[in-house]
Amino acid sequence: MKYIKHFDENTPVSQVALGCMRIGGMTDSQADRYLSEAIENGYNYFDHADIYGGGKCEEVFGAALKRNSNLKDKVIIQTKCGIRKGMFDFSKEHILSSVEGSLKRLGVESIDVLLLHRPDLLMDPEEVAAAFDILEQSGKVKAFGVSNQSPAQIELLQKCVNQKLIINQMQLSITNAYMVSSGANVNMCNEEGINRDGYLRDYCRLKGITVQPWSPLQHGFISGSFLGNDDFAHLNNVLKEIADKYNITDTGLAIAWLLRLPEKMQPIVGSTNLQRLKEIALASDITLSAEDWYKIYLAAGYTLP
């Protein structure tokens, strides 16, 4: 596993992060094994949200940390807040109360990175700024970012907050790559030329923001994996051919395809399958050739003008 830096120059983080939204039903022994084997395979960055499992996922992770206190210093925790039933809420009160809840469930004194979970259409950026200042000054949160936000939304927020927004978590995979394909179809009158995100990739490169692709093995909106899916037969044939060439699995190759993008990427992988996590960890050491990257891109159904 390779490591990158984003929230602290002295703290390297795994190039691939683990999303913990599926661990809520784990037994103690399963959670202990998940944590220890993840660290053994090089993962040290764990992504949470206050809504995952209604808070149960953070509780399970926190309990595992307590039972395995020797691993506590090897873990970097990111969590998200802002989604409530039927609404988004970036109010100062909700942000502060959400962080307090996450700290309690995780059993930690501070959160390494806090992300605002999707855009709140009623956001008051000055209210967010006040919450961030309190959290930073109290030592409860070390760094901040967002998820699913456009360049303009980030700019508006960054104008008011004192902390640099270092992460934007966005859906991105081989089959959900319009934020990539629009860059190849500038001023083209086709579906792929429709820009849906304000050229987010270029913006994040210019601003030094890490992009965290979520659902990197999924197609559609969490519609299932494209790997082994008959609806993507040609893509899977190409993936198998190229995976054999690099001596990795198709799972690892799908992550290596994202890591080949020139901006700083840190995919969020939600699998709890320990064998799959081993396969994905190997992807960090693979650098696809440009020819192989484009071959996969075209096999996914995208075109070049």
Per-residue model confidence as pLDDT tens digits over 31-84: 999 999 999 999 999 999 999 999 999 999 999 999 999 999 999 999 999 999
Instruction: Return d(Cα 211, Cα 203) in angstroms, integer.
Output: 10
pLDDT of residue 9: 86
Tell me how far CA of residue 84 lies from CA of 89, 95, 120, 128, 269, in angstroms. 7, 11, 11, 16, 24
Give start and end residues of each alpha helix (H) in the chain.
28-40, 56-67, 92-106, 125-137, 151-160, 178-181, 200-207, 233-246, 250-259, 274-283, 290-299
3-state secondary structure of 9: coil
Q: Of these residues, 34, 45, 52, 302, which one is catalytic?
A: 52
pLDDT of residue 174: 98
Residue 223 above 90 pLDDT? no
Whether pTM exceeds 0.75: yes
Instruction: Return d(Cα 73, Cα 59) in angstroms, integer.
Output: 18
Q: What is the per-residue pLDDT across 160-191, written as a single tens digit (0 to 9) for each?
A: 999 999 999 999 999 999 999 999 999 888 88
Q: What is the dihedral of CA 140, 145, 146, 147, to 10 degrees?
A: -100
> What is the percent of the chain where pLDDT is above 70?
100
pLDDT of residue 221: 80
Structure tokens at 130: 């006040």
Tell me whether residue 52 is one of the annotated catalytic residues: yes
Mean pLDDT over residues 88-98, rounded? 98
Q: Say how many C-beta atoms besides its own lie within 10 A of residue 266's C-beta.
A: 22
Structure tokens at 233: 């037969």
pLDDT of residue 33: 97
pLDDT of residue 25: 96
Domains with residue ranges and CATH for the chain: 3-171 (3.20.20.100)
Average model confidence (pLDDT) across the chain = 96
pLDDT of residue 191: 87
Q: What is the dihedral of CA 121, 127, 128, 130, to 10 degrees?
A: 180
Task: Look up residue 268 and give its DSSP letter.
Answer: E
